[in-house]
Amino acid sequence: MTPPTKPNACRKRASIPAILLLLAHSPQIAIAMAKESAPTGLMCELMARPELTTIADPRPEFGWVAGLTVEGSSQTAYQILVASGREQLAQGQADMWDSGKVASAESINVEYAGEPLAANATYYWKVRVWDRNDQTGPYSQVQAFSTGALSEPYATTRYPLVTTAVEPVRVVEKGPGHYFVDFGKAAFGTVELTLTSPVSRTPIEVHLGEVATESDSVNRAPGGSRRYRKMTETVDAGTHTYRIAITPDSRNTGSQAIKMPAYVGEVMPFRYCELVNVPAPIDTSSIRQIAVHYPFDDNASSFISSDAVLNDVWELCKYSIKATSFCGVYVDGDRERIPYEADAYINQLCHYAVDREFTMARYTHEYLITHPTWPTEWILHSVLMAWADYMHTANTESIRHFYADLGAKTLIALAREDGLISTQTGLVTRDVLRSIHFNGQLRDIVDWPHGNILGLQGGYGETDDFVFKPINTVVNAFHYRALVVMSRMAQAIGEDADAQYFADAAAWVRHSFNDKLLDKTKGIYVDGEGTDHSALHANMFPLAFGLVPPEYVDSVAQFVKSRGMVCSVYGAQYLLEALYEAGEDDYALDLMTDTESDRSWPHMIYDVGTTITMEAWDAKYKPNLDWNHAWGAAPANIIPRYVMGIQPLEPGFAKVRIKPQPGALASAGMDLPTIRGTIHVDFTSAQDQPFVLNVRTPVGVEAVVYLPQLGSDSPDVRVDGQIVQGALTDGFVVLDGVGPGAHRFERAVPSAGEH
């Protein structure tokens, strides 16, 4: 193995032809074309509702979901019309752009190519498509979009924040003029009261909080960073509606915090309200929780399984993503309201899984490029965030604009001769810090909190007694993963020489990593160079990132299982990834549905009673924890990506892997939103019965489908009623080249004596 050399020539990677199943052309599947429906799911600049804001790009990109309804349909061409007036477009007059019939299957990231758009103007567009028989369907509905100043060279457009008025689930009269109100779930916002008073200048007390007492009161001393606040409102004579002004908190409105926009005002997280000295009786119609959040489609995703606990975990985590979007940027909860890269990465993956929304993730990622935080691994997370953005959107604009920054954030400048990096070997120069936009001291984190802070003695830190050394196993696992995806992003924008350089660097790191940090006698990784201690973290990250040589996967996985959930809610993201990557789906499912341990999501739901995921498993592990931290919502992305097995293999879900890992689940079903449309997957996995998998993918999405081998050496799978031969791979039967539309797969249980 030799170290990488800097690029001096461009090299192109050869493509490997796919083995096509061509289900759509099977004679058993009807190919007669019915009248197709119009395209739906229109997007402009990655936004489904561009009319809510103004765009900054003078050449915006359009996208749609091809409205082709017959199984196996494919888009072969499109036509886009853009006009300056809705009436003109209705008459077929595209005064800004008529693309004409464009022979292309592309339905996302189609760049505007018409007359120059004016600043501060509104335009209208629609699209139609042709199918594989060269038949065209009707035009889509019209979508409006407006331009802003068009003066910035590059900017990611965001939506403004919106509010939802939430009715209480319970109002309790505690005494004359004294009421307790439960809204069912916590949200960031305020309350709106409609009150009647016989006299003016009547002061009432408004108590808001996240925690209630057993006697139906708002807990006025909830502890930690759990929120409580008291406000006073003066009520006038007659019937009036009052929106309570929240008193700012100095901790989360400081110089580094994301500020609430003036059109929204200050907010706080609360579920409960207590009113004192109300001048007239009230009921559920008198009060509303005004929840502030980023625009969110509650119906974009769904999940249901045979395990009621897992269903509750999904709902907790899905709602957490909506509730914590109150800033329009992914922040670390209410205590600081500061974006952090690792928090944002988990939030990003979860957001993609629960809504067809991409702008908040991209904006946050780009904000963090120039506003980085101190942990070494957090810097490396920026590269992972860029890769996730690209894989979910297939849009390269952000990569191109921040390409040099992303290269620097691989921290390859800190590599010694063997490729391994350290922040403690004198290589963190001022030039390096400038290249990553950081002014401070980088420090390795591994997990958080550490046991020597916040009074966390007695083993209550979240690093499993990890031994910190200059060459840190966790840091270098992240470095390896950052190099791998940086190589792929370089290739995506035509930087072939750089792509080869980063790929070579990744290979060199992998070699040195396993040579110097893998204890081959024990079959597990040590925490770093110069120690023989092996923590959970030193092993779960290499397993999650594909660093473990095949002959050591089982020993590393068994060690990871032996440690259990001795990590934080952040670390749980990678612990679960590691387990599923190693095929340990039974154990991973057990961790997500564990009702006995206080290190679990069921503990949050059933024992603590939070309705948004917490910053830590329990107050005893982090005394100043808050109850509104999206980095604790990992199951919102783990369930779609691993339990249901839906992951993009090519950018923008042009090709998708569907590899359910059900563990002990008897059944489960999911609708997953993607930029190309909704993917549906459901399965039944009853004992001694065939494994049945139903898949429905949008036009433009090819699938690789995995079914459990079930102990049989036969490659046969029944697909849409016909026997098809797959490939036996690592305990699965694999079918490549599965076309769009609805398909049913059945894998039979072997009969007695069959192998």
pLDDT tens-digit series, residues 589-610: 999 999 999 999 999 999 999 9
- Domains in the chain and their CATH numbers? 33-146 (2.60.40.10), 162-293 (2.60.120.260), 302-643 (1.50.10.10), 652-747 (2.60.420.10)
CB atoms < 10 A from the CB of 215, how many? 8
The pLDDT, as a whole number, for residue 749 is 79
pTM of the model: 0.94
Q: Is the per-residue pLDDT at 69 higher than 70?
A: no
C-alpha to C-alpha distance for 200 and 202, rounded to whole angstroms: 6
C-alpha to C-alpha distance for 709 and 703, rounded to whole angstroms: 18
Q: Residue 250, SS3? A: coil
C-alpha to C-alpha distance for 379 and 372, rounded to whole angstroms: 7
Confidence of residue 26 (pLDDT cuts 50, 70, 90): very low
CA dist 573 → 38, 262, 285 (Å):
39, 35, 41
**Could you tell me if 602 and 309 are in contact, meaning their C-beta atoms sit under 8 angstroms apart?**
yes
User: Between helices 376-393 and 473-492, what is the axis angle to 10°?
Assistant: 30
Consecutive H or E run containing 656? strand 655-658
C-alpha neighbours within 13 Å on the C-beta side of residue 430: 0
The pLDDT, as a whole number, for residue 34 is 37
**Could you tell me if 71 and 694 are in contact, meaning their C-beta atoms sit under 8 angstroms apart?**
no
pLDDT per residue as tens digits for the range 391-423: 999 999 999 999 999 999 999 999 999 999 999
pLDDT per residue as tens digits for the range 546-588: 999 999 999 999 999 999 999 999 999 999 999 999 999 999 9
Total count of residues recorded for the chain: 755
The pLDDT, as a whole number, for residue 6 is 60
Q: Looking up tokens 């397993």, which residue turns up?
A: 543
Q: Is the per-residue pLDDT at 300 higher than 50?
A: yes
Amino acid making up residue 16:
I
C-alpha to C-alpha distance for 442 and 86, rounded to whole angstroms: 54
Consecutive H or E run containing 738? strand 732-738
CB atoms < 10 A from the CB of 115, how many? 12
Q: What percent of the chain has pLDDT over 70?
A: 93
Minimal CA–CA distance to 377: which of 452, 449, 469, 474?
474
Least confident of 19-28, 299-308, 663-672, 708-717: 19-28
Q: Looking up tokens 């697909």, which residue turns up?
A: 719
The pLDDT, as a whole number, for residue 8 is 44
Q: Is the peptide bond before 449 cis (omega within 30 degrees of 0)?
A: yes
Mean pLDDT calculated for residue range 89-101: 94
C-alpha to C-alpha distance for 353 and 319, rounded to whole angstroms: 12
